[in-house]
Structure 1
Amino acid sequence: MIIQCTKALLDKLEIQKSDLVSPEGYEQSPKSLMGWHANLVTIYRRKVMILMNNETRYPIVINRLLKKDLSNINAVIQEAIRVALRMEGIKEAIIEDYLASGEDITFSKTASRSMVAKLNNTVREIEMMSEYLDKDTTIQRYISLVVSRMIQLDGPKKGFYPRNKMIESLAMLNGLNVNQAAEQVFDIELYQLNIQLDLEGHHIWRRVLVPSSFSFRHLHNIIQTVFDWQNYHLHEFTVKRANNKPLKIVLDDDPETLEFTAFDNEEIVQERFVSLRDVFSKHSDVLYQYDFGDSWMHIITLEKKVQAHSLQVVFLEGNGERPPEDVGGEYGFNEYLRILGDATDPEHEDMKIWAASQKERIFTVEQTNQRLKNVIYNYYYI
């Protein structure tokens, strides 16, 4: 495997000119899959190493390079590739075969202007999605998932997604049928989650399958989607722990988000960087609160684990219509139902008009699953 570095990165790694190898041949298949162009940039005032695969343009991000990382850079690069492909749900054997095929890591200068331009584009995309960059962690887990799903153009050729091209290339490397790559390349653990609104006298719930590698940001997007919440309000996850203070999983470190947080009594983490596996491997239930005013509490229960060949959320079934947004909490919801159920109530007609823009829209299972394809990015009420 060859890492084709910009001058800034070569200087940072302190690689001597005599130790560089020729980059020739790594721009075209089959050697291009074993080549990565790399640059060193500054994001959040930290040095960040960005790698782009020559063949697929798949991005890898290594944050805050410390002295110990620089002295062991070969192993760090390999682990970063391993972690990113693992997050995609690629089988361990496929990942290890790829790393073994690359043999020892060598370094060279960048190749052509064309490859440097593609690398620069990847850097811009990483910078654009830098909210998914965990500032306190060296090897990044989530930013590759997002950026690898950004369409790439290559001259007059048809556009492609780096993630899809990486899957196809790994299948071909292992002599597998590209048309059946999903079954042969993926081994994905899904969590079957039951998400129930904690409302006395009401049985409102949704059941979904979610990749265990997904973050709690993804889970927030999923809950908003399957309940058709409008994402107007703040939210947080809480994990109650028997022998430790509660774990609060919050949107970000914005002061408005943390306004209701008791730092002395709670451990705080950001939802973008915590996976479902991190939590559900130790706990079977998590609480999700949406709208701190109306305080809609959802109880999320891990029912079982299943294996799959697709890194995709699946809505299975549900029951009950959620309360309207801004209805006034549990009391307001019951009043809303009472007024709608009484045609003689003087507020009946006005309530019907108001509810039209606030209550849950009804989607088919197929429509809901189509909407869930976008949760890896963000949730928008459309």
Structure 2
Amino acid sequence: MFVIGATKKLQNEIDQPIEEVEEYTDVPEIYQWHANIVTINRRKCLLLMNNATGLNLTLFGLRKQQFQHLDSVIKGSLKQLFQLLGVEKEIVDQMLGAADEIVYTKTKSRKVLGMLNEIKFFSEDMAAGKAYEDIDAAEINEYNNKELVFSNLDQITPYKEFARYFEKQ
């Protein structure tokens, strides 16, 4: 089960019930995410970040119908992100298996929200001055996960933190 802490902006976009955060404290951190909606180049974009590792996904140009089927959009996009980053198949299967059920709660971690804001700034910067069609989402997502260093993650990238998490298991 994935627990996604949705910001107020995202809660207004989706037709999903918002559960209480306290009901899902037993879910491992690796299956907990935070999500926000931002506008980049006048298009709605979804930012998704893992609470435990900072692994993140930026989806550009979402439309109303995609918000109605957000669970499947997230699952499919995470699969593409894992392929892009070269994550091992066993880990991909484990993560996507957990994504079969997704519940939405309010946000709970200001640390993760701060890192989401950093992702927003870098994504805006990489998309600045480009036509929407010219934005390379794969390049931006790879950069945000393999190049960007967060002080909250012991000065390493989200991808390395993600790999390190599964090495400890």
**Into which bin does the TM-score normalised by the smaller protein fall?**
0.7 to 0.9
- Kindly tell me the number of residue pairs found equivalent between the two proteins: 165
Q: How does 1:300-311 map to 2 (within 5 A)?
A: none
TM superposition outliers: structure 1 runs of 4+ over 6 Å: 25-28
CA distance in structure 2 between the aligned counterparts of 1:98 and 1:105, rounded to whole angstroms: 12
Query: Which residue of structure 2 lines up, in the alignment, with residue 190 of structure 1?
Result: none
Query: Which residue of structure 2 lines up, in the alignment, with residue 14 of structure 1?
Result: 15
CA contact (8 A) 2:10 2:35 kept: yes
Which AA in structure 2 matches 1:152?
Answer: F
CA contact (8 A) 1:27 1:54 kept: no
Query: Which residue of structure 1 lines up, in the alignment, with residue 141 of structure 2?
Result: 144
Which AA in structure 1 matches 2:89?
Answer: E
Q: How does 1:114-125 map to 2 (within 5 A)?
A: 114-125=111-122
Residue 160 of structure 2 is aligned to residue 159 of structure 1? no
Which AA in structure 1 matches 2:14?
Answer: L
TM-score of the aligned structures, taking structure 2 as reference length: 0.83
CA distance in structure 2 between the aligned counterparts of 1:161 and 1:130, rounded to whole angstroms: 21
CA contact (8 A) 1:6 1:110 kept: yes
Match of 1:35 among 32, 35, 41: 32
The Cα of 1:134 is off from its aligned counterpart by: 8.6
Query: Which residue of structure 2 lines up, in the alignment, with residue 94 of structure 1?
Result: 91
The Cα of 1:107 is off from its aligned counterpart by: 0.6
The Cα of 1:103 is off from its aligned counterpart by: 4.1
Change beyond 3 A, Cα 1:54–1:26: farther
Which AA in structure 2 matches 1:168?
Answer: R
CA contact (8 A) 2:49 2:112 kept: no
CA distance in structure 2 between the aligned counterparts of 1:4 and 1:92, rounded to whole angstroms: 26
CA contact (8 A) 1:61 1:80 kept: no
Identity of aligned residues (%): 24
The Cα of 1:33 is off from its aligned counterpart by: 1.0
Q: How does 1:207-356 map to 2 (within 5 A)?
A: none
Which AA in structure 2 matches 1:52?
Answer: M
CA distance in structure 1 between the aligned counterparts of 2:159 and 2:48, rounded to whole angstroms: 14
CA contact (8 A) 2:54 2:112 kept: no
CA distance in structure 2 between the aligned counterparts of 1:88 and 1:129, rounded to whole angstroms: 19
Where structure 2 has 5 or more consecutive residues not aligned to the other structure, the ranges are: none
Change beyond 3 A, Cα 1:49–1:170: same
The one of the two structures with greater contact order (alpha-carbon pairs below 8 A, sep at least 6) is 2
Where structure 1 has 5 or more consecutive residues not aligned to the other structure, the ranges are: 176-382
Query: Which residue of structure 1 lines up, in the alignment, with residue 6 of structure 2?
Result: 5
Match of 1:23 among 21, 24, 48: 21
Match of 1:63 among 36, 57, 60: 60
Deviations 1:284-318 (A, max 9, x none): xxxxxxxxxxxxxxxxxxxxxxxxxxxxxxxxxxx
The Cα of 1:159 is off from its aligned counterpart by: 1.4
CA contact (8 A) 2:7 2:35 kept: yes
CA distance in structure 2 between the aligned counterparts of 1:13 and 1:79, rounded to whole angstroms: 18
Match of 2:127 among 130, 134, 140: 130
- The alignment partner of 2:19 has SS state of coil
Which AA in structure 2 matches 1:5?
Answer: A
Structural RMSD (CA):
2.7
Which AA in structure 2 matches 1:169?
Answer: Y
CA contact (8 A) 1:26 1:32 kept: no
